[in-house]
Amino acid sequence: MSSVTPPGWTPARGYAHGIVTRGRLVFVAGQLGCDRDRKIVSEDFVLQAQAALANVMEVLAAGGALPVHMARMTWYVTDMREYMSSWPRLGAGYREVMGAHYPAMTAVAVSALVDPAAKVEIEVTAVVPD
């Protein structure tokens, strides 16, 4: 798996513009910042994001994938300003859970998530090499 940056573009920071890979696909459904009983862990955005990422990790592991196999990640957030203002703490929390692998990422602001207390939902597509 390798990241792609078009010629002349500024390199992405904290994500990849694109990923080139081949192998077995593992699709991770949107994961909330909740515990195993599906209860939201905190009102804090970063703590919810870390819990959602930990849930992504568990699903990846169950599918035989590692964080380095993530090709794309989509974040659904209920408050884009909160997401953006959380970047320093969020980046540290991301690296704590996921390491230094940065797939192609998209962040989308949504009006609500399935749990009214949820502030973030993260879905992933991973590719385990042949």
pLDDT one-digit tens code per residue, 8-26:
999 988 899 999 989 999 9
pLDDT (tens digit per residue) in 57-75: 999 999 999 999 999 999 9
**Alpha-carbon gap, residue 33 to 112, rounded angstroms:** 14
Which residue's entry shows tokens 């990241």?
A: 3
81 within some domain: yes
**38 has which bridge partners?**
none
Q: Is 3 helix (H, G, I), strand (E, B) or coil?
A: strand
87 within some domain: yes
Q: Indicate which CATH number applies to the domain containing 113.
A: 3.30.1330.40
Indicate whether 1 pLDDT > 90.
Answer: no
User: What's the structural domain count of the chain?
Assistant: 1
Position 115: which residue type?
D
13 within some domain: no
- 110 token code pair: 């949504």
85 within some domain: yes
2 within some domain: no
Supply the range of the domain harboring residue 30: 25-128
Predicted TM-score (pTM) of this structure: 0.90
pLDDT (tens digit per residue) in 34-51: 999 999 999 999 999 999
DSSP string over 100-120: T---EEEEEE-S--SSTT--E
